[in-house]
Amino acid sequence: MAPETRSSVVRIARLVWADRLGRVGLLLLAATFVVAILGPIVLPFDPTLVGTSAKTILAPPSGGHWLGTDELGRDVLRETIQGAQVSLLVGLVATAISMLVGSFIGIAAGYTLGLADDILMRLTDFFLALPTLPLIIALAALFGQSTVILILVIGLTSWPSTARIVRSQVLSLRERQFITRVRSLGATDYRIVTSHILANVLPLIFANTVLVIAGSILSEATLAFLGLGDPVHVSWGTMLHFAFETGATGRGAWWYILPPGIGIVVVVLGFILSGHTLDRILNPRLRNR
Amino acid sequence: MFQLGYLVRKLASLLVTLFAVAVFNFALFRILPGDPIRLLARAGNLNAEAIQRLHELYGLDQPLPIQFLIYLRNIATAQFGTSITYQRPVADILAERMASTIVLLFAATILVVVVGIVLGVVAASRRGSRVDNGAVVGSLIFWSLPTFWTGLILIFVFGVYLHVLPVSGTSLPGVTHTSWIAHAIDVGRHLALPTITLALVDIGQFVLITRSSLVDVLTEDYILTAKAKGLSRRAVIWRHGVRNALLPVVTTTALYVSLIIGGAIQVETVFSWPGMGRLMYDAVLRRDYPILEASFLIFAVTVVLANLLSDLLYQVLDPRVRQA
């Protein structure tokens, strides 16, 4: 990371921290990351450690299990902590894919214009017009259940909005004076795009990125709840799927329903509050709202 | 009301998009993971006769372009094949399920639009006040709720703990109602929690869009003029402000339809609401590909049509666009 990029990240983080909602968002995110990274070391989850008697199945919180047990008699607290890793991993990697594809298509369309722009934007609008959840359900059901498939399905379906934003930024950048000057000095298109356009577009799509992470985490949770999660790497959505399928709600097992759901809300709210604040900072038109 | 050229252009682009949806659906379910028979064979046992029947229905011995034409003919005549789970034509099952979903979407949309606009307007007209801050924070929190989990929590509170509302199905099982009023009340009670769940989760974004749009409009010069004319605060905000602020909201219709379809799939699943969403969930669990394919196609076409509707509505509402 170039020194000036790093200092602008620090500057932006300070501005977010100065906002009340932004600070709450950053704190929620910090808490989630600490739990996801350190939690499994302190309280490791062993999925094979199932209950041995009917009494230990869906048991309410006790001294041995602070948040009770699940339908197999496993510790809900440890399982929830483990789930944080899967949710964050899927959300972050899927968003990275989405950003790469979206930025590439947006820059290609906005910089080259002409026929390529027409075709790419038609494609973008088409994918923007497809209903998101039915699409990712169909894809996940066709390609099988694994964390890698979930990441690809979510990442490769959420790029269109990014492509649109990037394209409109590139359109306004490409006619700016510093670009035309660099071009007249003999810079190649490749160099202009990689060192001038990209550097100016990335900060602007930063807020969008943070909001896309929130959406990706919600998508993963939803797919997993609908039974399309990875059975090996249990996420919050998978836990809620099994809670629902085994009738935990009807049996009043609040300790199995609340922790994974609160986990999802905390991390998604963290990203949404930070992204909302970033949006206001980076988009000056909104700053006075 | 519309210029002929505009309508023709819109219809042409609609046809192109619908064709693209058909090609995409064909590619998704036929080419990528293999032919439908391989998919069906993966899901259950098929005898030679059944395989032969499927070959004829999909024209699998024909080259790909011919298969595509047969596929288009099947869509046009609503032949979506036979469901693996129910052993009945998919088209019949969809026809039974559609009404329940439409009722649910309709009820939730009314709630979202009415409450969303009122909250958004109140927040924008008292910008910076406690009410405004509360509306923004509340909207962001509701935005971050997973729909299915919100449903589980409402089931827990109102169904299991308080026992005040039914949490599954569309009406009491095995009960014959003496009058249509009693029947309507029964269905309404069953509709309450699914509708509230769906509305709660989608209302946040609606409030935020309405609010920021109205905040923009209220800084316009004609609002100042209206105030200077001595119009009441209410008239300025509702007649001059909201009317114009709702224009950008209309353009988000397609986005909203896509959002609420996703919500309906989750809500129907959680509340065993016998609509297309619950059908899709059951189809996912049993890998019932003919049902998945047909549901995806119908949802996609719905969103494309909603897109067209919002374009046309914008034309009606904004005279400037009409003249351009």
Residue of chain B nearest A251, judged by CA positions: B160
What residue type is A271 in one-letter code?
A: F
Distance from CA of B114 to the nearest CA of A (A): 23
Q: What secondary structure does DSSP assign to A29-48, as a single string?
A: HHHHHHHHHHHHHHS---TT
Q: Which residues pair with A75 in a beta bridge?
A: A69
Residue of chain A nearest B211, judged by CA positions: A289
Residue of chain B nearest A258, judged by CA positions: B153
A32 pLDDT more than 50:
yes
d(Cα A282, Cα A265) in Å, to the nearest integer? 25
- Most confident region among A70-74, A256-260, B310-314 by mean pLDDT: A256-260
What's the ipTM? 0.87
d(Cα B300, Cα B102) in Å, to the nearest integer? 15
User: How high is the pLDDT of residue A248?
Assistant: 80
Q: Does A141 touch chain B (CB under 8 A)?
A: yes
Are A218 and A158 spatial neighbours (Cβ–Cβ below 8 Å)?
A: no
User: How high is the pLDDT of residue A267?
Assistant: 95
Torsion on CA atoms B303, A141, A136, A45, rounded to nearest 10: 140
All residues of chain A having their beta carbon less than 8 Å from the beta carbon of residue B287 are 141
Q: Which of B28, B144, B259 sits opposite A214 (nearest CB)?
A: B144
Q: Work out the pLDDT band at A284, boundaries 50, 70, 90.
A: low
d(Cα A255, Cα A76) in Å, to the nearest integer? 8
User: How high is the pLDDT of residue A287?
Assistant: 43
DSSP SS3 for A153: helix
For A30, B25, B309, the CA distances from B20, given in Å and listed in that order, are: 44, 8, 19
More confident residue, B289 or A6: B289
d(Cα B245, Cα B202) in Å, to the nearest integer? 19
Cross-chain Cβ contact B303/A129 below 8 Å = yes
User: How high is the pLDDT of residue A263?
Assistant: 93
Domains recognised in chain A with CATH numbers: 11-38+74-286 (1.10.3720.10)
Q: Which of A129, A228, A254 sits opposite B307 (nearest CB)?
A: A129
Q: Does A24 touch chain B (CB under 8 A)?
A: no
User: How high is the pLDDT of residue B59?
Assistant: 65
pLDDT digits (tens, 9 = 90+) for A109-126: 888 888 888 888 888 888
pLDDT digits (tens, 9 = 90+) for A76-111: 788 888 888 888 999 999 999 999 999 999 988 888
Q: Does A143 touch chain B (CB under 8 A)?
A: yes
User: How high is the pLDDT of residue B262?
Assistant: 92
A59 pLDDT more than 60:
yes
Residue B280 carries which DSSP code?
Answer: H
More confident residue, A266 or B29: A266
B243-250 and B289-317 helices cross at what angle (nearest 10)?
150
Mean pLDDT of residues grouped by 10 in chain B (324 residues)?
A: 76 86 81 56 63 68 78 81 79 89 92 91 86 90 92 89 80 73 84 92 88 85 84 83 82 82 93 91 82 88 87 77 55
d(Cα B136, Cα B124) in Å, to the nearest integer? 10
All residues of chain B having their beta carbon less than 8 Å from the beta carbon of residue A229 are none
User: How high is the pLDDT of residue A232?
Assistant: 81
Nearest CA-CA partner of A35 in A270, A196, A201, A204: A270
User: How high is the pLDDT of residue B186?
Assistant: 83
A69 pLDDT more than 80:
no
Calculate the average pLDDT of chain A: 83
A19 backbone dihedrals φ, ψ, rounded to 5°: -90, 140
Mean pLDDT value across residues A244-248 = 85
Cross-chain Cβ contact B284/A222 below 8 Å = no
Query: Each residue of A13-27: b (16+ CB within 10 Å) or e?
Result: eeebeebebbebbbe
All residues of chain A having their beta carbon less than 8 Å from the beta carbon of residue B270 are 244
Q: How many Cα atoms occupy the beta-carbon half-sphere of A67 within 13 Å?
A: 18
d(Cα A188, Cα A167) in Å, to the nearest integer? 20
Q: Which residues pair with B89 in a beta bridge?
A: B82
Distance from CA of A201 to the nearest CA of B (A): 24
All residues of chain A having their beta carbon less than 8 Å from the beta carbon of residue B19 are none
Is the pTM above the cut of 0.80? Answer: yes
Are B89 and B292 spatial neighbours (Cβ–Cβ below 8 Å)?
A: no
Q: How many Cα atoms occupy the beta-carbon half-sphere of B219 within 13 Å?
A: 11
Q: Which residue carries 């809300």 as its tokens?
A: A265
User: How high is the pLDDT of residue A288?
Assistant: 44
pLDDT digits (tens, 9 = 90+) for B202-248: 898 889 888 988 888 888 888 888 888 888 888 888 888 888 888 87
In sign, the C-alpha dihedral spanning A84, A219, A72, A144 is: negative
In sign, the C-alpha dihedral spanning B157, B161, B164, B170 is: positive
Look at chain B and count its residues: 324
Query: Each residue of A246-274: b (16+ CB within 10 Å) or e?
Result: bebbeeebbbbbbbbbebbbbbbbbbbbb
Residue of chain B nearest A254, judged by CA positions: B156
A:B CB pairs within 8 Å: 133
Mean pLDDT value across residues A225-238 = 88
Mean pLDDT value across residues A55-73 = 74
